[in-house]
Amino acid sequence: MIRLKKIWHRGAFRIAAFFPYDPRVASKFKSVGATFSKTHKCWYLSNTSSSKRLLMNLAKDLNLRLDYSEIKKQRSTSNLKKSDLPLEHHKAIERYKLYLKGQRKSKSTVSTYSNFVGLFLKFNDHKALMDLDQRCVERFAEQVLARRSYSISSHRQAMNALKHFFKLNSECNVLVESIEMPKKDRKLPTVLSSEEVLSLLQVTRNLKHRCLLALLYSCGLRVGEVLKLKKSDIDFDRHTVYVRNAKGRKDRHTSLGESIQPLLINYVRTYAPCELLFEGEPGKAYSASSVRAFLKRSCKLAGITKRVTPHTLRHSFATHLLENGVDLRYIQDLLGHSRPETTMIYTHVTERSLSAIQNPLDAAVTKYRQRDKNDKNMRLSRNIFR
């Protein structure tokens, strides 16, 4: 049996499939384009009707039953209608969207925050807006966010959304300062070695794909940034790339390596893009999902077993700069980080800083050898205290 459930993952609702591990079933999910989530420990697809049909056909091929019971219990707000909420609550969401736009939040933030507030109001649809209190927020966190296994990141987004909502609706009995958020996960980024990066580029035969991956690494770009690049943003004379309207609505320049320039020139002459540097359909930007798909194929060809995403190349760019002795402040500017603390995480994964620390066991062995000069070949595989 395959148990289906709707989850919030990577900024959107997904259809998750849970089943006892079976390599045959896992292989089938992988072959239809499903992705495995280590966070939720499941395979997932986008929340679309085509995905549902795909799952039905897949289950039929495998002779397995699909369990929809949990999806039926869940109530998604990704497409809330007036009829889904009391009129008062629906109007509150519309006011909230206008408020967020007035705060100049990005389109993605407006959508994500509005969905979370809609989910909160749907959970409390039996209460008038004025009757919402601190306990309503706590129950929402307990019975929706925690019970449905939202990630820590999504949980924090939901609480931030509610903070803005109750800041706007100050007549409600909720203290914005008292809304608690779980602590951030402190996970170290995955980093590729220089050899792995070169191997990745060598096995990527498609010229456009190779050029895109090389830019992600060479310039430390986010995937959204590289897909928005225009031909005019590449300055070969100054060896720079102009990144427009990046995260936090900031522009910046980043360095363009000399070794990538012949590749870029070859790509532009071959594909002749119009305005955007990387086009999907004529005149339209290449999709991030396509980048992830061909990156996954290239990693397999290169024999890289680490979990690699487009952002892994950005992490690798920063780590390798630090290992080469580049000042942290300069790396912060190249990455476009607002705070130096964000860039500091790369000091935890750089080989240069790790190799500078002497292991305490090595230090103890060295001291022993200095004390007992007759036993220079002391090994840990035998009793040293004879």
156 in Cβ contact with 181 (< 8 Å): yes
Q: Residues 209, 314, 315, 320: which is the catalytic one?
A: 314
| C-alpha pair distances (Å), 237 with each of 125, 209, 218, 233, 265 | 60, 24, 17, 12, 13
Burial 198-221 (b: 16+ CB within 10 A, else e): ebbbebbeeebbbbbbbbbbbbbb
Q: How far apart are the C-alpha atoms of 180 and 162, rounded to whole Å?
A: 11
* Catalytic site residue from 292, 296, 311, 369: 311
For strands 2-9 and 66-67, give the pairing. Answer: parallel
d(CA 158, CA 113): 7
Q: Rounded to an integer, what distance in angstroms lies between the CA atom of residue 225 and that of residue 326?
A: 23
Is 311 catalytic? The answer is yes
What is the enclosing helix (H) or strand (E) of 24?
A: helix 23-31
One-letter amino acid of 24: R
- Among this protein's residues, is 330 annotated catalytic? no
Query: Annotated catalytic residue: which of 44, 96, 113, 346?
Result: 346
Q: How crowded is the C-beta side of 102, counted as CA atoms within 13 Å?
A: 8
The catalytic residue among 209, 210, 320, 337 is 337
Residue 251 near residue 206, CB atoms below 8 Å:
no
Q: Residues with Cβ < 8 Å from 272, sequence gap 6 or more?
A: none
Place of tokens 């395979």: 43
Neighbour tally for 77: CB within 10 Å = 20
Q: What are phi and psi of 158, to 5 degrees?
A: -60, -45
How many beta carbons lie within 10 A of that of residue 268, not counting itself?
Answer: 14
Q: Is 337 known to be catalytic?
A: yes
Q: 272: alpha, beta or left, given left = phi > 0 and alpha = psi -120 to 50?
A: left
Element (H, E) at 360: helix 360-371
The CA distance from 249 to 245, in Å, is: 5
Angle at 191 between CA 190 and CA 192, to 5 degrees: 130
Is position 247 annotated as part of the catalytic site?
yes
- CA 95 remoteness from chain centre: 30
Residue from 89, 155, 222, 228 carrying the catalytic annotation: 222
* Cα–Cα dist 144/124, whole Å: 11
Token readout for 36 is 């495995």
Options 3, 208, 247, 253, the catalytic residue: 247
Report the catalytic residues.
Answer: 222, 247, 311, 314, 337, 346
